[in-house]
Amino acid sequence: MKPPREQLKDLLRGAVNIHSEEELLKKLEKGKPLRVKLGVDPSSPDIHLGHTVVLRKLRQFQDAGHTAVLIIGDFTALVGDPTGKKKTRPQLTPTEVEANAKTYIDQVSRVLSSERLEVVRNSSWLKPLPFYELVKIAATMTVARFMERDDFSKRYREGVPIHLHEFLYLVMQAYDSVEVRADVELGGTDQLFNLMVGRDLMRDSGQEPQVALTTPILTGLDGHDKMSKSLGNHIGVSMEPFEMYSRVMSMPDTIMKEWYTLLTSLPIDEIERLCDGQKTHPKSAKDRLAREVVKGYHPEKADAAAQEWDSKFSKGDVPKEMPDLEVPAEIGVVDLVVLTKIPPSRGEAKRLIEQGGIELDGRKITDLKGLIQAKGGEVLRVGKKQKYFKLKLA
């Protein structure tokens, strides 16, 4: 292990909040491996690069000699994290949660090391927890404390219902920290309140409170909203190399530095050079970023993905001349395909999308609910006969 202060400097790279830096230093100075908790609720089957920001931070703790405690929230997922939600989140069935949990473990292993890793499910202690024990735990917390959360207080002011089980979610997540005796808990910036509740409960339970450390929320491919599958601005960790590379190449230049910082391990001075338009051409910088991203999940295939993309978009496989397609700055995927007038109906347009017949700048678009944030100049390919259009803002 590195000396405590050197470790601290490394571990805080990219962090947004820490409560507190002094406490983390004291824990590191004890010279014992820390237990670093990350809870993930398998509320959907896919993990995208946005999720990997905090996973990479957990891997950083592993590489520094500490133990990663990954909690698969198969019990809390039945309730649903209310964080950032304007209304009560739909609850999943046990079957849905279990199916998602299996895919999570496979995908998470693409980021975390199998060494110094504990994977546990919180159903193992929450499911058998007697009701009176839950009441005793809840008795240490107050409604006033929970109402300090922005989303709860806003919903209350607006008359939007807040259900009791949403409060219980915070109780259960906090109890996870007590159960695994966490030294540190990681989460995105939207999880800070939840992590602080965990600190409170550990203190009330007679344990040394965990350090709460949050990481940034990754901006999606559209350049302004957070990465989300529902917005279609995501890159999944299980995507094929060419698809992954192509999606990175389609991102706006303005978020390259953020992605370099949060998704790669390159030194800060090298990132500064790559993102300086006078020292490195933006296309070269984006190519390097795309290769680094692909390399993280397909170590041997980054070069092949780059060559395939270059063949398609730089060496003439795509026609130089193509008709313009006028589109608004934001448009749904189905509406975009309908505008081309190639499929005769919306139903046919949906089928074409689901069958992988649509590409935008080389990346397949398969999400029927996805939104396209057009900048103008993007190349749209439609159908097996490969009809091409260049997007033009209306």
Supply φ then ψ for residue 388, to 5 degrees: -110, 145
Distance CA 280, CA 2 (A): 33
| pLDDT single digits (tens) 315-365 | 556 777 788 999 998 899 999 999 998 888 899 899 889 888 898 887 788
Question: What does each C-alpha distance from 124 to 210, 230, 391 come to in angstroms?
Answer: 21, 31, 52
The confidence band for 370, taking pLDDT boundaries of 50, 70 and 90, is: confident
pLDDT at 256: 95
89 pLDDT tier (thresholds 50, 70, 90): low
Q: Say if residue 116 is exposed, middle or buried (CB neighbours under 10 Å; 0-12, 13-18, 19+).
A: middle
Lowest-confidence range among 83-87, 98-102, 355-359?
A: 83-87
Between strands 358-360 and 363-364, the pairing is: antiparallel
CB-CB neighbours of 137 under 10 Å: 19
**Whole-number pLDDT of residue 316:** 55
Domain boundaries, the chain: 4-215, 219-317, 319-394
* pTM across the whole model: 0.79
Greatest alpha-carbon pair distance for the chain in Å reads: 72
User: What's the whole-number mean pLDDT along residues 114-140?
Assistant: 94
pLDDT tops 70 at residue 47: yes
Tokens of 178: 């007590």
* Predicted pLDDT at 309: 87
pLDDT value at 203 more than 90? yes
Higher-scoring residue by pLDDT: 30, 388: 30
State which CATH number among 3.40.50.620, 3.30.450.20, 3.40.50.880, 1.20.120.330 fits the domain covering 4-215. 3.40.50.620
What fold, for 319-394? 3.10.290
87: pLDDT strictly greater than 60: no
- Which CATH superfamily, name and number, covers 219-317? Tyrosyl-Transfer RNA Synthetase (1.10.240.10)
Segment 52-66 shows an average pLDDT of 96
Task: Tell me the C-alpha to C-alpha distance, in Å, between residue 301 and each of 34, 172, 293, 296.
Answer: 35, 42, 11, 10
Model pLDDT, residue 317: 66
Do 4-215 and 319-394 agree at the fold level?
no
